[in-house]
Amino acid sequence: MGRPPRSAGFTLIELLVAALILAVMAGLGWRGLNSVAQGRDAASVRMHAAEQLSLAMRQLGDDLNAASDEGTGLPAVSLGGNGDLLIVRRAPQALGADVRAWPGAQTPLDAGLLQVVRWGLLDGSWMRWASAPTALRGMLLGAMQSPQGQPLAVLTNITDVRILVYRYAGLGLLAQTGAWVNPYTASNATGNSPQAIALRTPAALRLTLQSAAPDLQGMIMREFLLENRQ
Give the mean model confidence (pLDDT) for residues 83-87. 90
Which percentage of the chain shows pLDDT scores above 70? 67
- Rounded to two decimals, what is the model's pTM? 0.69
Digit-coded pLDDT (tens) for 129-186: 999 999 999 999 999 988 888 899 999 899 999 998 887 766 555 555 678 888 776 4
Q: Judge residue 158's burial from the number of C-beta atoms within 10 Å of its C-beta, 0-12 exposed, 13-18 middle, 19 or more buried.
A: buried
- Number of domains the chain is built from: 1
Any domain includes 21: no
CA–chain centroid gap for 221, Å, is 11
Contact 117, 18 (CB under 8 A): no
Give the mean model confidence (pLDDT) for residues 112-123. 91
Give the mean model confidence (pLDDT) for residues 105-133. 81
- Can you give the residue range of the structural domain that contains 121? 48-225
Any domain includes 43: no
Any domain includes 150: yes
Any domain includes 196: yes
CA angle 167, 163, 142 (to 5 degrees): 100
Between 17 and 127, where is the model more confident? 127
